[in-house]
Amino acid sequence: MNFDRLFSYEPDSWGLRGDPFLWKEMKEHLKDISVPNRDSEIYEILSDAFQILTGYSIESKEHFFLERFAHGGMSSGYIEPEFWRTRGFKFLCESR
């Protein structure tokens, strides 16, 4: 199974309004990569993709703004690393 299949499932709620757009971008970025069996390996791949696509570490303590995800409204374009660390990555691991 490749990551694009994992990313076809979406969580019921998001951190901030930019997170769904990052979800779609990560799906595209990782679409041809096979999902490893170990959660630690999945986390490493996802963390690396997060860094590449956002320019920020997944360990960032503060949310940050990415212009390409700004589509209007409060918090538009903002990414919440805590969402990815505590819910997003866990959701993906549990979806496999």
Residue 75 CB neighbours (<10 A): 16
Question: What per-residue confidence (pLDDT) applies to 96?
Answer: 84
Q: Can you tell me the distance from the alpha carbon of 2 to that of 17, in angstroms, rounded to the nearest whole number?
A: 26
- The number of distinct structural domains making up the chain is 1
- Beta pairing, strands 64-65 & 78-79: antiparallel
Residue ranges in the chain whose pLDDT is less than 50:
none
Question: What per-residue confidence (pLDDT) applies to 74?
Answer: 77
Question: What per-residue confidence (pLDDT) applies to 91?
Answer: 96
Residue type, 50: F
Helices (H), 3-88: 3-6, 19-30, 39-54, 81-83
Question: What per-residue confidence (pLDDT) applies to 61?
Answer: 96
Rg (CA), the chain: 13
* Domain that includes residue 49, residue range: 3-95
